[in-house]
Structure 1
Amino acid sequence: MKHTIVMTGASRGIGRVAAQHILRRSPDTHLLVVARGSGAQLAAELGAGGHMVSHVTADLGSLAGVRSAAGEIHDLLERGDLPPLRGFVGNAGMQYTNALTEGPDGFEATFAVNVLANHLFVRLLQDRFTAPARIVITASDTHFGDFKHNMGMVPGPAWKSPDVLARTGAFPQPGTTAAGRTAYSTSKLATIYLVHEYARRLPAGIDAVAYNPGFVPGTGLTRNAGPVSRFAMRRIMPVMTLTPFATSRNAAGRYLADVVLGTTKAPTGSYVDRSRADRSSRESYDPQREGQLWEAAERFTAAYAGGREPSSADVSSGSTR
């Protein structure tokens, strides 16, 4: 049966590979890619050979942009211009070289893209999913915070109140690369917390899964890093894919497609480590934090989910900041 899968982060890296696998292996899929700027070209390239691909433009760093894109998708589904929605893939992610970058809505940019954008998409499209459906959010094993999982390259998460994490300067020496990487690993821990909440709260038949691709050199994740770091990630680190310590872009993309298509068996709430469901970190199982993050994400996105522009009163009261 024809169906729709909405996907962010399909323009490059593991997302591009995953999109190609999904279209080739599931010919009934209409893939709707959410991209900034080059969406039409991306859709044309992925659609070569007769695949069903369309696009919606959005800047995922802007909650107003996410609301607009999700609203457009919702309307297309409601009118029957798209086949039933069976999947959402939140693969887009961002890592900054500091913890001081603020998005247009006043949120710290890493938290806005990696956490709030996915949450707003899920909530705005929730009533259009047709079971069985699957939501897949790309996580990261940096959330373990130990040498085994990140070889000391990324500091572990430093959890704080979501109201603190959502703002710039949440970590010590916020202008440093270490603080930016801490913001990243912490946002990926938050992703797993929200997946656990989706598993509890979404209707039966709508599964939510966190996917960890492992360390994948050569992707666009470090595009905001300095020239030395970018060169190392693109030219030197890919050699590590010949060892057990890294995953090639092609393998990681194939694994992501396996999760999206259900080839990898994973019940709702699962953490999939590359090709199999596994346990995430001990810290990632914390119902109290999960509930607090859910409440905060709902509060931060309430004005956008409600279809109105946030006001200065919202900002001062903390409902959007």
Structure 2
Amino acid sequence: MQHTIVMTGASRGIGRVAAERILRLSSDVHLLVVARESSGALPLAELGAGGRTFSHVAADLGSLDSVRCAATEIRDRLERGELPPLRGFVGNAGVQYTNALTAGPDGFESTFTVNVLANHLFVRLLADCFVAPARIVITASDTHFGDFRHNLGMVPGPAWKSPDVLARTGAFPRPDTATAGRTAYSTSKLAAIHLVHEYARRLPHGIDAIAFNPGFVPGTGLARNAGPLARFAVRRIMPVMTLTPLATGRGAAGRHLADVVLGTTRAPSGSYVDRGRVARSSQESYDPGRERDLWAAAERLTA
């Protein structure tokens, strides 16, 4: 049966690999990619080569107004029958800044906006459009563990605070430093897992929510806001690590993401999928009280 999957973060990196695999393996999928116009219409249009069903809605994920407009457009197209039934949302887009002072047009810290609030707004505005069985997949990160085994000492662990504090700039010590920017990133990924747990509690039966961890994937563009030396290391030196168990190649990570989206990787709602298998996320990530508080704050901040 023809159905729609909405996806962010499909224009490059693991998302691009996943998008191509989804379209190749599932002829009944209409893939609707949400991306900035500046991502380039031509590279995105290439996803539709060979008769594969693809469309594009423009949005700046750093702006909640822009996200709201994109979600409304998708709803309208679904209601008019221009798109087949909605059975998937993939929140794969993510950002990491070199400070914790970057704010978007809504006044919220940009890492938290893109990695947490934008996904939440899409899920909430499209929630009653999903047709079961459906799957919501949010890309997380093993940096949320905060230990050397999972972050190789490159990213500080999360530093949880009230969601109203996390949503604002300057939430972490020395907010003008790369350390604060990376802390904002790992904390946002912990928040994403918290919300996946809450979605699993609140969404109707048959609409599953999954957190997906691709592992450490060098060269994906996540460090595009870093300095020249860091960008060079990520693009040219760290990819060698994919020859070891310490890192995952972009192709493998994209395939794992596609398999989670398509349900080839079996996972119950609320799961944390570490590459190709269901696993436990960090002990800190299981906190129902914190998850309820984050839900309430996300509802308020995106209202």
What amino acid maps onto 2:276 in structure 1?
S
Residue 178 of structure 1 corresponds to 179
Residue 318 of structure 1 corresponds to none
Residue 110 of structure 1 corresponds to 111
- Conserved? CA contact 1:67–1:121, under 8 Å: yes
Residue 187 of structure 1 corresponds to 188
Residue 32 of structure 1 corresponds to 32
What amino acid maps onto 1:170 in structure 2?
A
Aligned counterparts, 1:1-321, within 5 A: 1-37=1-37, 38=39, 40-302=41-303
The whole-number CA distance in structure 1 between the counterparts of 2:51 and 2:82 is 18
Matched residue SS, 1:277? strand
Distance 1:134 1:140, change over 3 A: same
Larger mean Cα displacement after TM superposition, 40-49 or 276-285: 40-49
The whole-number CA distance in structure 1 between the counterparts of 2:44 and 2:17 is 14
- Conserved? CA contact 1:39–1:57, under 8 Å: no
Matched residue SS, 1:194? helix
The whole-number CA distance in structure 2 between the counterparts of 1:238 and 1:76 is 41
Matched residue SS, 2:212? strand
The whole-number CA distance in structure 1 between the counterparts of 2:294 and 2:246 is 31
The whole-number CA distance in structure 2 between the counterparts of 1:105 and 1:115 is 14
In structure 1, stretches of 5+ residues that fail to align are 303-321
Give the superposition deviation at 1:43.
Answer: 3.5
The whole-number CA distance in structure 1 between the counterparts of 2:294 and 2:40 is 31
1:49-96 alpha-carbon deviations (Å, 9 max, x no partner) = 110000000000000000000000000000000000000000000000
The whole-number CA distance in structure 1 between the counterparts of 2:42 and 2:206 is 34
The whole-number CA distance in structure 2 between the counterparts of 1:124 and 1:71 is 8
Size of the aligned set, in residue pairs, is: 302
What amino acid maps onto 2:65 in structure 1?
A
What amino acid maps onto 2:90 in structure 1?
V
What amino acid maps onto 1:132 in structure 2?
P
- Conserved? CA contact 1:39–1:55, under 8 Å: no
The whole-number CA distance in structure 1 between the counterparts of 2:238 and 2:149 is 17
Cα RMSD after superposing both structures: 0.6
1:153-208 alpha-carbon deviations (Å, 9 max, x no partner) = 00000000001000000000000000000000000000000000000000111000
Matched residue SS, 2:257? helix
The whole-number CA distance in structure 2 between the counterparts of 1:276 and 1:125 is 27
The whole-number CA distance in structure 2 between the counterparts of 1:174 and 1:105 is 19
The whole-number CA distance in structure 1 between the counterparts of 2:26 and 2:243 is 30
Matched residue SS, 2:75? helix
Identity over the aligned pairs, expressed in percent?
Answer: 81
- Conserved? CA contact 1:33–1:39, under 8 Å: no
The whole-number CA distance in structure 1 between the counterparts of 2:103 and 2:262 is 35
Matched residue SS, 2:136? strand
1:281-303 alpha-carbon deviations (Å, 9 max, x no partner) = 0000000100000000000011x
- Conserved? CA contact 2:11–2:44, under 8 Å: no
The whole-number CA distance in structure 2 between the counterparts of 1:285 and 1:144 is 12
- Conserved? CA contact 2:12–2:220, under 8 Å: yes
Give the superposition deviation at 1:39.
Answer: 5.5
In structure 2, stretches of 5+ residues that fail to align are none
The whole-number CA distance in structure 1 between the counterparts of 2:48 and 2:40 is 12
TM score, norm. by length of structure 2: 0.99
TM score, norm. by length of structure 1: 0.93
Distance 1:226 1:195, change over 3 A: same
Give the superposition deviation at 1:44.
Answer: 1.6
- Conserved? CA contact 1:39–1:56, under 8 Å: no
